[in-house]
Amino acid sequence: MIPLFDLGVAVARVAVFFAFVFGLVVVMTWVERKGAAYMQDRRGPNRARILGITLFGMFHPLADALKFLFKEDFIPDNAHRLFYQLAPMFALAPAILTMAVVPFGPPVTIAGKTISLQIADLNVGILYLFAVSGLAVYGVVLAGWSSNSKYPLLGGLRSSAQMISYEVSLGLSIMGILMVFQAIRLSEIVLGQGELLFGILPKWGVFVQPLGFVLFLTALYAEANRTPFDLPEGESELVAGYHTEYASFKFSMFMMAEYIHMVVGAAVIATLFFGGWQFPYLADKGFAFPGGLSVTVPAAGVLVLRIGSFIGKTLFFCWLYVWVRWTIPRFRYDQVMRLGWKVMLPLSLLNIFVTGLVLLLIDKGGF
């Protein structure tokens, strides 16, 4: 039915991407704690040690994982048992699913077969991303509701309202990108960003859609429940929000879901607005700078540079999440709603309108 080679490639792709994302999740929990510490003039985690080696606290994620595993896994008396246990899975599953359509490198030819470095190059591409990421809200809402406790319920309510509000802007803010690159597959969008704008700038999404980028970034933070939009778990007023009643590994599943959202979100920003695996001025044969200067690079080198560029961009945006979290205070809830409906939505509509107008003018003017 399916040739063995293709099957192997498919499994390998999933395994590699899984390893990449989960590895990054582990590292990000450390980066978050250490970064927060250094920004606040503290030392951060530096105690966990293996054979006397602390490695800047790198073993803390391991210690955390062990602690989560061995803690008592309890269910509160009045919680709705089934939904209470389902909620962490509902949170984690969409987070993992979203990474399926992100291309992390150009197609590679091995043994006469072209392999795209992407788990699934779907026809609906970016729509799949929205469909799946929109489901993440269920984990939060179910957790909040099934705990049968005040603060989780408030957290769940907040998150459902927030996610609906920002999903609209999230969807509309990338319409500009789809219009400019005339594509909906992520692989095609990345290919389109390999061109040059006015012969100088790489035609990255951020340069053709600066407003769209800002809107998308904001909406993405709101969707991932990260500061300044982490109201569903706002600890100063809601204890821990929707996961107040969770402990042990169920809590760590929520935690993992949040960090996977971060990592995948970073990869999606890199893909849509920063050229994905495109390295600036790097063509298939080597560098071709605007001045006419060109440097030949072997094919393997090009591949490494491109995958490296994707990973580098992803890492940067992961770091940006942390950086923003320890810089900006949380919004008040009415401010979140006002920003979402009265600022983001009109701006994203305006962005679509202006993009359409400019594209029409370019088309008519022929320049």
Residues in touch with another protein (CB under 8 A): 1, 35, 38-43, 80, 83, 122-124, 127-128, 130-132, 134-135, 137-138, 141-142, 144-145, 153, 156-157, 160-161, 163-164, 167, 171, 184, 214, 323-324, 326-328
Structure tokens at 284: 């298939």
Instruction: Please identify, using beta-carbon distances, which residue of 188 and 287 lies nearer to another protein.
Output: 188
Cβ of residue 298: shortest distance to another protein, in angstroms? 36
Cβ of residue 285: shortest distance to another protein, in angstroms? 32
- CA dihedral of residues 330, 211, 262, 279 (deg, nearest 10): -150
Structure tokens at 309: 């560029």
Closest by Cα among 20, 19, 46, 45 to 32: 45
Structure tokens at 8: 């192997």
Instruction: Please identify, using beta-carbon distances, which residue of 171 and 286 lies nearer to another protein.
Output: 171
- CA dihedral of residues 355, 358, 359, 360 (deg, nearest 10): 120
Cβ of residue 286: shortest distance to another protein, in angstroms? 34
Cβ of residue 236: shortest distance to another protein, in angstroms? 19
Cβ of residue 43: shortest distance to another protein, in angstroms? 5
Contact indicator for 115, 108 with CB cutoff of 8 Å: yes
Instruction: Please identify, using beta-carbon distances, which residue of 42 and 285 lies nearer to another protein.
Output: 42
Cβ of residue 359: shortest distance to another protein, in angstroms? 15
Cβ of residue 128: shortest distance to another protein, in angstroms? 6
Q: How far apart are CA 179 and CA 356, in angstroms?
A: 7
Instruction: Please identify, using beta-carbon distances, which residue of 20 and 138 lies nearer to another protein.
Output: 138
Cβ of residue 360: shortest distance to another protein, in angstroms? 15
Sign of CA dihedral 223, 227, 229, 230: positive
Cβ of residue 89: shortest distance to another protein, in angstroms? 12
Instruction: Please identify, using beta-carbon distances, which residue of 295 and 343 lies nearer to another protein.
Output: 343
Cβ of residue 145: shortest distance to another protein, in angstroms? 5
Per-position DSSP letters for 94-147, written without gaps between them:
HHHHGGGG---S--EEETTEEE-SSS---SSTHHHHHHHHTTHHHHHHHHHHHT
* Cα–Cα distances in angstroms (integers) from residue 223 to residues 34, 171, 190, 340, in the given order: 24, 11, 23, 11
Q: How far apart are CA 148 and CA 120, in angstroms?
A: 39
The residues near 325 (Cβ < 8 Å, ≥ 6 apart) are 32, 36, 226, 227
Instruction: Please identify, using beta-carbon distances, which residue of 167 and 245 lies nearer to another protein.
Output: 167
Instruction: Please identify, using beta-carbon distances, which residue of 81 and 285 lies nearer to another protein.
Output: 81
Q: Please report, in angstroms and rounded to a whole number, the separation of the first and last CA atoms in the chain.
A: 49
Radius of gyration of the chain (CA): 22
Structure tokens at 328: 């900006």
Instruction: Please identify, using beta-carbon distances, which residue of 44 and 286 lies nearer to another protein.
Output: 44
What does DSSP assign to residue 149? S
Instruction: Please identify, using beta-carbon distances, which residue of 153 and 282 lies nearer to another protein.
Output: 153
Q: How far apart are CA 136 and CA 337, in angstroms?
A: 19
Instruction: Please identify, using beta-carbon distances, which residue of 172 and 302 lies nearer to another protein.
Output: 172
